[in-house]
Amino acid sequence: MGWAYRVEELLITVLAGEIRDGDVAAVGGRSPIPAAATLLALYTHAPNATAIILGSRRHFPFTEGSKEFFDLAQRGGIDLFFLSGVQIDGQGNINLHVVGDYEQPRVRFQGGMGSGMLYYMARRVVLFRMEHSRRVFVPRVDFITASGTTPPGAHRPGGPTALVTPRCVFDFDRERGRFRLRSLHPGVTLAEVVGRTGFEFDIPEAAPTTPEPTEEQLRVLRGPVLAELAEVYPEFVKELTAG
């Protein structure tokens, strides 16, 4: 390959690949990488998808704010949603509340802000995290903000399908409630991923390498995508284009 890229750009292209043409793909707050991925998909392989990006005037088609958005989600109108967590465990549970004991936590966060419902009702949920460490990927989260699996008979149209990190991509098997390594990013070894992951996961006989961004993807991402993203995430765009 004759062009360089940043790890953020790799994650953006990987997340964009999760969006199918015709999808209604939604992105919440403080999520510049999934927002960029959604725009990239619209500009490339999924022109008939619908993007819902919190904070965007063009891509937030509601007049009553989050109420209409959550109404749409509860009606099953979201095909794909992106979620993250302070902690994520091997059963796909995410924690956005506390680290440590709930009554006397070491750190307390803002909470789920609708994540529990969206994790259930969006047909597919792709998890992402920019830090790949045992501090984030734990054997069991300290608090379950939203569960990755549900008991038989529970109404759950959707749930987790993948986890994307700066080191690799995992698929999530909903029936088994367990992650499986899909691919290693270029230059990353299996031993590195195992060493940085606090939960057990399934490993294929030969883990493929994550496809690198194409020259066309980088051209579109660095041009019209970032120009549009700057409305919502100006600091992220500035950081990504620096140097």
**Helices 7-16 and 32-43, axial angle in degrees (round to 10):** 60
Tokens of 221: 């991402």
> Is residue 98 within 8 Å of 145, Cβ to Cβ?
no
- Non-local (6+) Cβ contacts of 155 within 8 A are 120
Which pLDDT score, from 0 to 100, does residue 180 have? Answer: 98
Q: Which helix (H) or strand (E) holds 170?
A: strand 168-173
Which pLDDT score, from 0 to 100, does residue 39 have? Answer: 98
Distance CA 27, CA 168 (A): 21
Q: Does residue 86 sit in helix, strand or coil?
A: coil
Which pLDDT score, from 0 to 100, does residue 79 have? Answer: 98
Low-confidence ranges of the chain (pLDDT < 70): 1-3, 243
Angle (nearest 5°) at CA 197 between 212 and 181: 50
Which pLDDT score, from 0 to 100, does residue 65 have? Answer: 77
Q: Does residue 100 sit in helix, strand or coil?
A: strand
> Is residue 236 within 8 Å of 27, Cβ to Cβ?
no
Which pLDDT score, from 0 to 100, does residue 243 have? Answer: 64
Domain at 7-240, CATH from 3.30.450.20, 3.40.50.970, 3.40.1080.10, 3.40.140.10: 3.40.1080.10
Alpha carbons within 13 angstroms on the beta-carbon side of residue 162 total 18
Tokens of 110: 């803002």
- Non-local (6+) Cβ contacts of 205 within 8 A are none
Which pLDDT score, from 0 to 100, does residue 1 have? Answer: 45
> Is residue 74 within 8 Å of 117, Cβ to Cβ?
yes
Sequence spans of domains, the chain: 7-240
Which pLDDT score, from 0 to 100, does residue 64 have? Answer: 84
Distance CA 66, CA 117 (A): 13
Q: Considering only CA atoms, which of 198, 98, 88 is closest in space to residue 147?
A: 88
Which pLDDT score, from 0 to 100, does residue 202 have? Answer: 98
Which pLDDT score, from 0 to 100, does residue 137 have? Answer: 98
pLDDT in tens, 44-59: 999 999 999 999 999 9
Provide DSSP, 226-238. Answer: HHHHTTT-HHHHH
Distance CA 209, CA 221 (A): 22
Q: Considering only CA atoms, which of 184, 154, 141 is closest in space to residue 166?
A: 184
